[in-house]
Amino acid sequence: MAHFLGLEMTQKEEGIFVSQSSYAKDILEKFKMESCNHISTLVENIVELRKSKVGNVDPTYFKSLV
């Protein structure tokens, strides 16, 4: 199995298979989201986004999450 840019490539008799499951798992662990449920659409279609009232948001952390 080879790893490149978060991709796992495996060659079998049936062909070459590419996966990002380990990379996705690492991202979920980094942001403490391992137990989250999956959904078809990441964001609802009609969502009004507002500025957080909680305080300052670290832009670097937010960008790495996105």
Q: Is residue 18 part of a domain?
A: yes
Q: What is the pLDDT of residues 20-63, one digit of tens each?
A: 888 888 888 988 888 888 777 666 677 777 777 777 777 887 78
pLDDT in the model for residue 4: 60
Q: Is residue 24 part of a domain?
A: yes
CA 65 to mean position of chain CA atoms: 7
Q: Is residue 63 part of a domain?
A: no
Q: Who contacts 17 (Cβ-Cβ below 8 Å, separation ≥6)? A: 9, 10, 11
pLDDT in the model for residue 11: 87
Write down the pTM of the prediction: 0.48
pLDDT in the model for residue 42: 65
pLDDT in the model for residue 26: 86
Q: Is residue 13 part of a domain?
A: yes
Domain encompassing residue 20 = 1-33
Whole-number Å distance between alpha carbons of 4 and 16: 14
Q: Is residue 4 part of a domain?
A: yes
pLDDT: which is higher, 1 or 34? 34
Count of domains forming the chain? 1
Q: Is residue 45 part of a domain?
A: no
